[in-house]
Structure 1
C-alpha cells in the first residue's frame, strides 16, 4: 500500500488527500488506500495478492464498471502508477470546488459501491466562513438529476483536441472525454473511386460522371475545411471544383488529365486522413460508469 500511495502522489497533479483506512465490504474488513480530489475518489484494495483499482464520484454515485487489477503490489507497481495518472485526467474536479469529502463519507460511498447498493446522499458543501450567502435561486436543487458523465477510456477516447466537429462549439469540448472524427472521409472515398476510374482509362461517357461527382465532393470538402478553419485545404478544393466543374468545362488532352486526376486523388485521400475534428464522447463510444 505504501508503494501504491507513493506512485499515486507522484502521478496526480493538483490538490489530493490520501487516507489509509479499513472498511467492511462484503462482511470482511479490507485495508483500503483512498485518494480524494474534491468529491471524486479513487481507491485501491488488495484481494488475494491482487491490487484492485477503482474510482468514482460521491456526488453522482457513479463508479467505473470493472476493476483493473495488477499482478501484485510489487510486480504491478508500474501499472498502478499509470492508472493513478489516468484516473486524475478522467475525473477532473468541478471548477471552483474546494471542499474535500470527509473519511466517513468516502468510506460509506466505497462500501455501498462495492456491495452494489446505492450510496447515501452526499452532505451539502460547507460554505466558507467569509463567503457571502448565495441567492436562493443559485442554491436550489435542480428538478432533474444531471446526466451521468462519460468516463475517459484510453481505448475509445482521446485527450488530443482538434477544432470542433459540425454541430459543436469549443465550449462543448471543455472538460469531457473527446472522440476524433474525420469529416472528409466520405467525399474522399467517393471522389477516389471516380478518379481511379478516370486514371484507368474509362469510356468517355464516364468522364461526365467524374466531372459532376468530383465537383460535388470538392465543394463538400471545401465546406468541411472552411468549417475547420483550414484555409489552404479550402482553397485547394475550391480550385479542384473549378477545374472539374461541368458547367464551364475545361477541355484538355488525356495526357494532361492523367496527372491532374492523380493530383486530385492524392488531395482527397490526404484530406480524408489529415482533416480531423473533435466531438464529445457519447454512450456509443465506449464503456460508461454505472450507478452503484
Structure 2
C-alpha cells in the first residue's frame, strides 16, 4: 500500500476520535529532504499531524502559540494494525486540547503547515498570537458542539479537570470544572505503613512481631478499602477487604512461614499499586 493510501487510512482513524470542530486536511511539504503528504488536525492553537515513512505513520502535536510540542515522532502504527495506536494518541491529544465554550478557530493552514515543517526539520517554529475567538455565552444547561454535557472547558492546561480521576469525597464532578485542580493519592499513607510492616515480615522477624504485623496490615487495609469505596472502585475495595480477612488478628488465619511469604508479597504489591492507582482530584487552594 502506498503512502497516500496509508495517509487516507490514518485520516479515517483520526476522524473517529475528534468532532467536526477540529479542522482536518492534508498538505505536502519537504520533510528531511523528501516531499511528504502530511495530515494536519487543528483546533485553536493546537496542531496535531501525521506523516508516513516506509509504510509506518508517525504522530506529532504542539502549540503554534508557544512553539512547543508535547508529542513528537511517536510511532503510530501501520494500516495493517487499523491504526489502533494512532487512534489512541489522537483521542488523548483531543482530551487535553478540546476548545473551551465558544466557537473554536483553527490555526490558518499556512501557519500550521510552517509550524509542522519547521519542527520536523529540526528548526525553531514560528509562533503567532492567540487565535481563539472570545467565548460566546451558551444557554444554561446546554453543552457546546463537539463537547459532551458536563465536560470541563479545560482548554490545553493539564491542571484543569480533564482527566478520569474522581473528585475527593464530599465533592461533585462539577466542583472541578474550569478550575485549577490538584491530583491526590489518599492511599499513600496506608501503603507506606502497611508495606513497611509486610517487608519486615518477609525479611524475617520474631514471632511476637507478627501479631503487630496483623494489626498494622489490617488497619491499613481497612483504610485503603474505605478510600476505594469512596471512589466507587469496587475491585480495589474487594481486594483490600480480602486482605483484612486474611490478616485480621481477631479471627486469625494460621499458616506456615513458607505459605505466608508469597501472601505478604502479594499484599505489599496491592498496597503499592493502590497508592498509585487510587487517585482523586480536588480544587487547588486559591
Bin for the TM-score computed over the shorter chain: 0.5 to 0.7
**From 67, 75, 79, the counterpart of 1:68:** 75
Q: Is 1:272–2:271 an aligned residue pair?
A: yes
C-alpha distance after superposition, 1:247-279 (max 9, x if no partner): xxx8xxxxx7445999xx79x939638844126
Q: Kindly report the root-mean-square deviation, in angstroms, between the aligned alpha carbons of the 2 structures.
A: 5.0
- Three-state SS of the structure 2 residue aligned to 1:67 is strand
Figure out how many residues of one structure are paired with residues of the other and give that number.
225
C-alpha distance after superposition, 1:56-98 (max 9, x if no partner): 2223323324331545xx435x12x541343232342243362
The answer as to whether partners of 1:164 and 1:277 remain within 8 angstroms in 2 is: no
Q: Is 1:124–2:130 an aligned residue pair?
A: yes
TM-score under structure 1 length normalisation? 0.54
Using the alignment, how far apart are the partners of 2:131 and 2:19 within structure 1? 23
- Three-state SS of the structure 1 residue aligned to 2:16 is helix
The answer as to whether partners of 1:190 and 1:217 remain within 8 angstroms in 2 is: no
Q: Is 1:90–2:97 an aligned residue pair?
A: no
The answer as to whether partners of 1:194 and 1:214 remain within 8 angstroms in 2 is: no
Using the alignment, how far apart are the partners of 2:127 and 2:203 within structure 1? 65
The answer as to whether partners of 2:186 and 2:227 remain within 8 angstroms in 1 is: no
Would the alpha carbon gap of residues 227 and 10 (structure 1) be closer, same or farther in structure 2, given more than 3 Å must change?
Answer: closer
- Three-state SS of the structure 1 residue aligned to 2:105 is coil
Tell me which residue corresponds to 1:45.
Answer: 51
Would the alpha carbon gap of residues 15 and 27 (structure 1) be closer, same or farther in structure 2, given more than 3 Å must change?
Answer: same
Contiguous gaps of at least 5 residues in structure 1: 132-147, 151-158, 245-249, 251-255, 281-292
Using the alignment, how far apart are the partners of 1:126 and 1:190 within structure 2? 51
- Three-state SS of the structure 1 residue aligned to 2:49 is strand
TM-score under structure 2 length normalisation? 0.55
Offset, 1:14:
5.5
